């Protein structure tokens, strides 16, 4: 069994927290599994849970359009979430749920071997960089996770609520892509 199939099997069989009870699908990720550019969000939403694919709802469509406008197509990146199952009513994942799911994310990072990671939103940044981080203050800044350069930016869902954040997210994505191109 390939390493990816083994990871998918582990995620599909996972019952470490209660999120499995209401899920329709485990949402592992989508895109190029060997991409140098990786984006990580919070958790699947309703549409992602239905389709079993990461970032396919309104926020994901907005992000895909932004990336495509920059010339970054799906075969140039891999995208996933901290949590693999949808929290009820799209609530923010609890710390225990995050901790139970982090080994799966770490395995994804090991398999993809990205050269640059973009963390989308506060939950992703707090989960991998610093629990006290505030994305509104730290977006656009570089950090590191397991030796990989990490850019923090808004989650695309925040842009659906506040369009004034679009230009900042655009700049952050361009900056992250540029770093990858000059690495």
pTM across the whole model: 0.97
User: For 87-126, what is each residue's pLDDT tens digit?
Assistant: 999 999 999 999 999 999 999 999 999 999 999 999 999 9
User: For 44-68, what is each residue's pLDDT tens digit?
Assistant: 999 999 999 999 999 999 999 999 9
Alpha carbon of 70 to those of 35, 53, 63, 74: distances in Å? 16, 22, 11, 12
* Domains of the chain listed by start with CATH number: 3-182 (3.40.470.10)
Q: What is the DSSP string of 62-129?
A: HHHHHHHHTT--GGGEEEEES-SSPPGGGPPPPHHHHHHHHHHHHHHHHHH--SEEEEESHHHHHHHT
pLDDT at 182: 86
């Amino acid at each position: 069994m390939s390493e990816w199939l083994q990871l998918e099997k582990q995620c599909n069989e996972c019952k470490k927290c209660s999120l499995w009870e209401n899920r329709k699908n485990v949402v592992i990720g989508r895109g190029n599994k060997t991409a140098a550019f990786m984006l990580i969000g919070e958790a699947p939403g309703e549409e992602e849970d239905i389709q079993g694919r990461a970032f396919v709802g309104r926020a994901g469509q907005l992000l895909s359009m932004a990336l495509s406008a920059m010339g970054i197509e799906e075969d140039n990146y891999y995208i996933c979430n901290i949590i693999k199952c949808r929290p009820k009513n799209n609530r923010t994942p609890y710390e225990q749920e995050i901790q139970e799911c982090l080994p799966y994310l770490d395995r994804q990072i090991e398999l993809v071997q990205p050269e640059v990671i973009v963390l989308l939103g506060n939950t992703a940044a707090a989960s991998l960089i610093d629990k006290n981080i505030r994305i509104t203050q730290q977006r656009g800044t570089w950090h590191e996770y397991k030796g990989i350069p990490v850019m923090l930016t808004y989650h695309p869902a925040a842009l659906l609520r506040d369009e004034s954040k679009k230009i900042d997210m655009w700049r952050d994505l361009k900056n992250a892509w540029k770093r990858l191109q000059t690495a």
